[in-house]
Amino acid sequence: MTLGFYPGCSLKGSSREYAESVLALAKAFNIDIEEIEDWNCCGATAAHNMNKELSLALPARILSLAEKQGLHEIVVPCAACYSRLTVTKHELAKDQELTKKVISTNGLDYKGTVEVLNIIQMLDKYVTPNLEGRVVKPFDHKVACYYGCLLVRPHEILKFDREEDPQSMDELMLKAGATPIDWAFKTECCGAGLSVARTSSVGRLSGKIIRDAVDRGAEAIIVACPMCHSNLDMRRGAINSFLGEKIDIPVLYATQALGLAVGLDRRVLGLHRHFVTVTV
């Protein structure tokens, strides 16, 4: 079966390495992946703050395109995109009038038949069951799994993991040979979209996350969201000036850590693209 792929804006731009690592893993595990053609913006945080219909019509178009393309299941690695697509599916499923409106806006049929997977769900479904004998270079480090806000919320819609103390990424990292630490900032806010407007706020919020991870002995932080990654990695300057200390703990996507464990090439996984040099 072919697995659909919705990259969203980040995976084509600031977090190209996330896309690279997802595709590299897919290739390594013979997952047939196909990008949704003519995809558009998911609306991100902007749309649903301005106009509810717009915020549903944008993701609905993506899902319609996937249906049109004959896809039954898509992976959405960006946590924000995943949240928007899942919420849209949920909202449209319970409101036929709204669905009709969205269909007429988009001019595309919408049935709501496409399953939306986040990256952890995708790995759990297609990679970890085939992991036996594949972990050639165990990612033998203490890692802090950072889930951020969107991967597990809103719980009543996503029904994925425990919202206050998620475990799924920790379990995944265990399988990659890492030792996940028990820490307190798994789901605390990284500063998200304030990255540009109020970089110092991001420095403070992300700084607390980095501080706790390092204090508890983590050697790497593992993420599954491009926004989390850019804040923890690209904004390390602001973070370090908040902490008053130079901290160089690297931030890896879960797909990169798992990729390393199964022996994929560092360049293929895009590790050279990070701001903080990946030394692990």
Partner 1 sequence: MSKIGVFVCHCGENISATVDCVKVADVASKYDGVTFSVDYKYMCSDPGQTIIKNAIKEKGLTGVVVASCSPRMHEPTFRKACAEAGLNPYMCEMANLREHCSWVHEKADTTTEKAIDLVRILVEKIKYNQSLNAIKVPVTKTALVIGGGIAGIQASLDIANTGHKVILIEKDPSIGGHMSQLSETFPTLDCSQCILTPRMVEVAQHPNITLYTYAELESLEGFIGNFKAKIRRKSKSIDEKLCTGCGLCTTKCPTKKIPSEFNEGLGTRPAIYVPFPQAVPNKPVIDRVNCTYYIKGKCRVCEKVCPTQAIRFDQEDQIVEAEIGAIVISTGFTVKQPDFFPEYGYGKYPDVITGLQFERLASASGPTLGEIKRPSDGKVPEKIVFVACAGSRDQAKGIPYCSKICCMYIAKHAMLYQHKVHGGKSYVFYMDIRAGGKMYEEFVRRAIEDDGVNYVRGRISRIYEKNGKLIVNGADTLLNAMPVEIEADMVVLATAGVANEGAEELAQKLHVSYDPYHFFAEAHPKLKPVETNTAGIFLAGACQAPRDIPESVAMASGAAAKVAALFSQDELTREPLIAIVNRQPAPVYSSCVGCFLCVSACPYQAIEKEEIKNRAGEVIKSVARVNPGLCQGCGTCVAFCRTKSIDIQGYTHEQVYSEVMALLNEY
DSSP character for 154? Answer: S
Binding to partner 1, residues 48-67 (CB under 8 A): none
- Between 68 and 204, whose beta carbon lies closer to partner 1? 204
Closest by CA to 134, choosing from 257, 262, 264, is: 262
- Between 94 and 97, whose beta carbon lies closer to partner 1? 94
| Least distance between partner 1 and beta carbon 85 (Å) | 22
Query: Is 92 in contact with 102 (CB distance < 8 Å)?
Result: yes
Tell me the β-bridge partners of 4: 34, 74
Question: Which long-range contacts does 24-27 make (Cβ < 8 Å, 24+ apart)?
Answer: 24/255, 24/259, 24/264, 24/268, 24/269, 25/123, 25/127, 25/255, 25/258, 25/259, 25/262, 25/264, 26/126
- Between 148 and 270, whose beta carbon lies closer to partner 1? 148
Q: Which residue has the tokens 């996940």?
A: 180
- Between 38 and 215, whose beta carbon lies closer to partner 1? 215
Q: Which residue has the tokens 């988009």?
A: 106
Closest by CA to 119, choosing from 81, 155, 87, is: 81
- Residue 215 in contact with partner 1, rule: CB under 8 A: yes
Per-residue binding string, partner 1, 68-107, x by CB under 8 A, is ----------------------------------------
| Least distance between partner 1 and beta carbon 93 (Å) | 21
| Least distance between partner 1 and beta carbon 86 (Å) | 17
DSSP count for the chain of H helices, then E strands: 14, 8
Task: Report the amino acid identity of residue 86.
Answer: T
Number of residues that bind partner 1 (CB under 8 A): 11
Closest by CA to 236, choosing from 225, 221, 219, 248, is: 248
Helix (H, G, I), strand (E, B) or coil at 182: coil
| Least distance between partner 1 and beta carbon 127 (Å) | 27
- Between 109 and 156, whose beta carbon lies closer to partner 1? 156
| Least distance between partner 1 and beta carbon 78 (Å) | 25
Estimate to the nearest angstrom the gap between the alpha carbon of 254 and the chain centroid: 9
| Least distance between partner 1 and beta carbon 162 (Å) | 6
Closest by CA to 139, choosing from 221, 259, 10, is: 259
d(CA 187, CA 194): 17
| Least distance between partner 1 and beta carbon 186 (Å) | 10
- Between 135 and 184, whose beta carbon lies closer to partner 1? 184
Binding to partner 1, residues 151-190 (CB under 8 A): 155-156, 162, 164-165, 182-184, 188
- Between 78 and 249, whose beta carbon lies closer to partner 1? 249
Binding to partner 1, residues 6-45 (CB under 8 A): none
| Least distance between partner 1 and beta carbon 280 (Å) | 24
- Between 165 and 265, whose beta carbon lies closer to partner 1? 165
Q: Which residues bind partner 1 (CB under 8 A)?
A: 155-156, 162, 164-165, 182-184, 188, 212, 215
